[in-house]
Amino acid sequence: MFSSIRVIFVIGLALSIMSATVPTVEPTKAVKKNLIKTVCLDAGHGGKDPGCLGPAGAREGKVTLKIILELGKRLKAEYPDMKVIYTRETDEFIELFERADIANRNKADLFISVHCNAALNKSAYGTETYTMGLHKTDGNLNVAKRENSVILQEKDYQTSYNGFDPSSPLAHIMMANYQSAFMANSVKFASHVEDEFSKTFKRKSFGVKQAGFLVIWRTAMPSVLVETGFLTNPTEEEYLNSEKGQAEVADAITTAFKKYKDEIEK
């Protein structure tokens, strides 16, 4: 009787020791891929290059800078651990190739360039977001030629851009073959931007377009150029030059970024 009790006691003690020494196995968490760790924000034009001008005197380079700084604040508030870099934070002139180089040097995962549109027709209004690609229409080509003409103010631009002629349609078409590796994600983000403009803020949207822009030509990541509205339209000039308008544009791009980030990090 006594020996049976001792056997039971020994077995119980052994089991308790074994259970105490076996480590608890934590379930492994799925590691997200394609993490967006760095975003590069580019305010179009600036300094000696004012960009397009509004009827009341608003300068594209100053308007885009305010929008980009607002966008940066919102992104940092939403994602404190994400690195947000700027091609410029003051009203200064930065060469187009240097803007792309800034993004590349910092290994950015997304490049967002913000601009204001212009047209001879002062009643033209609305937004459109471009990715690198072929010019589907003369209108797309004209926008690209206008934005690219800033290189004429750069020193030795023919060497910097391999002899690129900003006035030549053929040069733009040849350049449009670049960025193909990032096209799908560029279009995905651009689509979210235009959806936010039209659905959330009820802006007229011309949708996602393609054209050859030097500023996103050499970027080694998904890249878009956002035309936030026509500064040559008096109503849109007032909107884009206001704190309300700049905040709404920044909010639209921030929300688009959230959706894009959630999609590609699954």
Q: In this predicted structure, what is the pLDDT of residue 252?
A: 98
pLDDT at 17 over 70: no
Q: What is the mean pLDDT of residues 136-160?
A: 65
User: Under a CB-based contact definition with an 8 Å cutoff, are residues 223 and 186 in contact?
Assistant: yes
21/65: higher pLDDT = 65
Q: Which of 60-64, 131-135, 172-176 has the lowest mean pLDDT?
A: 172-176
pLDDT band at 4 (very low <50, low <70, confident <90, very high): low
**Per CATH, domain 34-264 is 3.40.630.40:** yes
Over the chain, what HEC string results? CHHHHHHHHHHHHHHHHHHHHCCCCCCCCCCCCCCCCEEEEEECCECCECCCECCCCCEHHHHHHHHHHHHHHHHHHHCCCCEEEECCCCCCCCCHHHHHHHHHHCCCCEEEEEEEECCCCCCCCCEEEEEECCCCCHHHHHHHHHHHHHHHHCCCHHHHCCCCCCCCHHHHHHHCCCCHHHHHHHHHHHHHHHHHHHHHCCCCEEEEEEECCHHHHCCCCCEEEEEEEECCCHHHHHHHCCHHHHHHHHHHHHHHHHHHHHHHCC
pLDDT at 113 over 60: yes
Q: Each residue of 191-220: pLDDT tens digit?
A: 999 999 999 999 999 999 988 788 887 888
pLDDT band at 24 (very low <50, low <70, confident <90, very high): low
* Percent residues over pLDDT 70 in the chain: 71
262/168: higher pLDDT = 262
Give the N- to C-terminal CA distance of the chain in Å, as an integer.
Answer: 63
Q: Which of 13-27, 107-121, 234-248 has the lowest mean pLDDT?
A: 13-27
Q: Per the structure block, which two tokens stand in for 112?
A: 């967002």
Q: Per the structure block, which two tokens stand in for 33?
A: 């891929």
pLDDT band at 96 (very low <50, low <70, confident <90, very high): confident
Amino acid at 159: T
Q: In this predicted structure, what is the pLDDT of residue 2?
A: 47
15/138: higher pLDDT = 138
pLDDT band at 97 (very low <50, low <70, confident <90, very high): confident
